[in-house]
Amino acid sequence: MTSSVIRQRDDLRLLVGTEVEVSGRVKEFRRHPKRRELDTLLLVNLIVTPSIYGESIALHHLWFLKKQFRKIGAVPRRGERIWFKGIIYAYTRLGGKSKDRGLLGAEDYGIRPLGYYEN
């Protein structure tokens, strides 16, 4: 299996709509100051493998909404390594730190969890 490194999430644009297998470690949680549905968790050292291609991609980190993991069964614990299937999607940055960095309205890419793999 060949492995390549994607240094920016923007490179995920080539895989939008593709189902992937994901492995990553939970590093931290962040609470949104006003809206609980926007609480997030940070996965680091991700290995993303597109189901149809089979070539693994290494990502440094990716933020997820906690509610995405609640929907597929449970929110993982800090320090835990998790494995799940997901689908790559595009979204528009709407505010927060994106606004401070001049990225408001920019397109970005994430992975929507679809279900956990059994250990």
If you average pLDDT over residues 20-49, what whole number do you get?
93
The domain segmentation of the chain, as residue ranges, is 3-116
In sequence order, what are the residues at sequence separation of 6 or more whose Cβ sits closer than 8 angstroms to the Cβ of residue 76? 26, 41, 69, 82
Any idea what the Cα angle at residue 34 is, between residues 25 and 62, rounded to 5°?
20
If you average pLDDT over residues 71-100, what whole number do you get?
85
If you average pLDDT over residues 79-99, what whole number do you get?
84
Which of 115, 119, 107, 7 is CA-nearest to residue 51? 115
Give 3-state DSSP helix, strand, coil % of the chain, rounded to 5: 15, 50, 35
Q: What is the pTM of this model?
A: 0.82
CATH architecture type of domain 3-116: Beta Barrel (2.40)
Residue 7 has pLDDT above 80, yes or no: no
Could you tell me where the DSSP H helices lie in 1-119?
Answer: 66-71, 97-100
Which of 50-54, 91-95, 109-113 is most confident? 109-113
In sequence order, what are the residues at sequence separation of 6 or more whose Cβ sits closer than 8 angstroms to the Cβ of residue 105? 92, 93
